[in-house]
Amino acid sequence: MITRLEAFAVPGLPIVGAGDDLAALVTGALAASGDAPRRGDVLMVTSKIVARAEGRFAELSRVTPSAAALELAREVEGDPRLVELVLSESTGVSRKRRGALVVRHRLGFVTANAGIDLSNSAPPDAAPGSGPWALLLPRDPDASAERLRRAWRPDGALAVIVTDSFGRPFRVGTVGAAIGVAGLRPVVDHRGELDLFGRTLEHTIAARADQLAALSDLVAGQSSDRQPVVVVRGVEFAPVDDASARELCRPLDGDLYA
């Protein structure tokens, strides 16, 4: 049971580019403030900073849209080069209409524009006049999270979550969602526990990694390059080595809104 937790942004991180050692940058920034990744910490890392370190930049002027992308772009009135990138990252379209393209990402979740970002998306060494630039999501966020976890604690005694901001059906505004997880079970199943009156609890699968992602989104702020790494202390969890953000993705055939 959690009784108290704290969350803080890692201060003073630079703008990250392809090939930068994110783990070392965070460790250095924490050390400068007299801190370090600790046993039991959950380190929340935005997809954007992970993607930048992985060099997931795409210059739109170098993208050649397929026929399918051209047709879909006409339908949603979007940039065909962006639509091409979206399709290349997706396994299917969930909803489309003018100005909106929601897809099932190759990583399993459903999100607008396959999570491709057009803000703060240029590499630090972009030539003047180049672009516009897009930034794709990390290649394998679970693996990225696991690499960071081991870099920070070779004994694996902390957890790492890669987050993105998702829009949602029915509700206004974005919240954080976990798209990569290492070191902690992303879903907590309380089924079988008894409630205060001895009845079996219902509705008792909590999306813990998404709860944490929402918290870190709140702290990271919106222009998330500014505070892209958030440390959460006080979460009690049993370390695991087989976590995946895919545990948070409901199968298509079990979804009322597929």
Preceding amide of 228 cis, omega within 30: no
H/E stretch holding 69 reads helix 67-76
249 is a contact residue toward its own copies (CB under 8 A)? yes
Contact at 8 Å (CB) between 207 and 193? no
Q: Binding its own copies by CB under 8 A: which of 62, 67, 171, 253? A: 171
176 is a contact residue toward its own copies (CB under 8 A)? yes
Alpha carbon distances (Å) from 128 to 58, 125, 198: 15, 9, 67
Strand partners, 230: 9, 44
CA pair distance 140, 106, nearest whole angstrom:
10
Give whichever of 55 and 151 is closer to its own copies, judged by the CB atom.
55
Q: Binding its own copies by CB under 8 A: which of 79, 84, 89, 217? A: 217
- The bridge status of strand 100-105 relative to strand 110-112 is antiparallel
Closest contact distance (angstroms) between CB of 222 and its own copies is 4
What does the block give as tokens for 113?
Answer: 């524009």
Closest contact distance (angstroms) between CB of 51 and its own copies is 15
12 is a contact residue toward its own copies (CB under 8 A)? no
Give whichever of 74 and 168 is closer to its own copies, judged by the CB atom.
168
Q: Binding its own copies by CB under 8 A: which of 107, 114, 214, 229? A: 214
Exposed e or buried b per residue across 51-68, where buried means at least 16 C-beta atoms within 10 angstroms of its C-beta:
bbbbebbbbbeebebeee
Closest contact distance (angstroms) between CB of 216 and its own copies is 9
Closest contact distance (angstroms) between CB of 3 and its own copies is 5
Interface of this chain with its own copies, residues 70 to 89, rule: CB under 8 A: none
- The bridge status of strand 42-46 relative to strand 159-168 is parallel
Give whichever of 64 and 199 is closer to its own copies, judged by the CB atom.
199
CA pair distance 23, 42, nearest whole angstrom:
14
CA 109-112-103 angle, 5° bins? 55
29 is a contact residue toward its own copies (CB under 8 A)? no
146 is a contact residue toward its own copies (CB under 8 A)? no
CA dihedral of residues 43, 40, 149, 249 (deg, nearest 10): -70
157 is a contact residue toward its own copies (CB under 8 A)? no
Q: Which stretch binds its own copies (CB under 8 A): 55-63, 67-75, 84-92, 187-195?
A: 187-195
Contact at 8 Å (CB) between 56 and 114? no
Interface of this chain with its own copies, residues 93 to 132, rule: CB under 8 A: 95, 97, 100, 102, 109-110, 112, 117-120, 122
Q: Binding its own copies by CB under 8 A: which of 49, 148, 215, 229? A: 215
Q: Which stretch binds its own copies (CB under 8 A): 69-77, 79-87, 141-149, 168-176?
A: 168-176
